[in-house]
Amino acid sequence: MYIKSINNFDPDLIPSPVVGVVSKVYFHNSGYHQHNKHQLLFAKGGGLIVEIDNSRYFVPPSCAIWVPAKTTHKTTAHNEVELRSLFFEDGLSLPSNPLIIGFSSLLFELADRMAHWPWDKSSSEQHSTLSVFQEELQAALLHPLNITMPKDRRLNPLLDLLKSEQNPPKLIEIEKMIGASSKTIGRIFLRETGLSYQAWRQQWRLMKAMEMLTDKQSVHYVAQQLDFSSSSAFIAFFQKHTNQTPGRFIAA
């Protein structure tokens, strides 16, 4: 169902197995909150950033994020988008951790239709749609579009840098910045993120590239802003990690 503002909306107050919501937002920031119901969140016309614990998820227009019940999270959108949320009393046999789910054309159409359902109406058509939706959801692709932020206080200079919208520097620069050896930095990142610093930096750049491309920034501009030596180097990097070119990603 379409609502004008999602800020004060509480799906937990609606006694329905599926609650769908559509709302147009501009520079949206939900603040940290949680629901008693499971949530599938996606957007039409732009990307979303969802923060959960010390992880940051990017949700491109071709994907949705599964937020299990009672998970504290914050959602932001940099541009005008149409938010769509589906709230479920049932966990749909999905894992109890957040997931980025790739939408096929059929899955998007089903989810979009369900988001527009009235809250007080139940029909055989809705039950049939939900059944097909669950089948498609189980077959959907899962994407690693999240990054875990380290919490070790020795890395605060790096985290401050990222908060000011600067890129994570190369390892040799981090050594100078915090006064620790590459081995120490590597141990911290492996312990707290599961990745080496180099792999973590690549994942950060990939997610940032997706955000910028979704915001309609040119390939040349993104390559320049993320410190790639050339547009072709950026295209090769993006294709290696996503199996598609930036141009195809933008067109999806």
Q: pLDDT for 28-80, tens place per residue? A: 889 999 999 999 999 988 899 999 999 999 999 889 999 999 999 999 997 88
pLDDT of residue 124 exceeding 80: no
Q: What pLDDT, on a 0 to 100 scale, did the predictor assign at position 4? A: 74
Q: pLDDT for 6-33, tens place per residue? A: 777 899 999 888 999 999 988 888 999 9
Mean pLDDT, rounded, for 219-226: 96
Q: pLDDT for 133-186, tens place per residue? A: 999 998 898 888 999 999 999 999 999 999 888 999 999 999 999 999 999 999
pLDDT of residue 203 exceeding 80: yes
Q: Is 24 exposed, middle or buried (0-12, 13-18, 19+ CB in 10 A)?
A: middle
Please give the domain boundaries of the chain with CATH numbers for all domains.
11-143 (2.60.120.810), 149-251 (1.10.10.60)
Sheet holding 74-76, edge to edge: 74-76, 48-52, 55-59, 146-148
Mean pLDDT, rounded, for 85-101: 90
Model-level pTM?
A: 0.86
Residue 200: phi, psi to the nearest 5? -65, -40
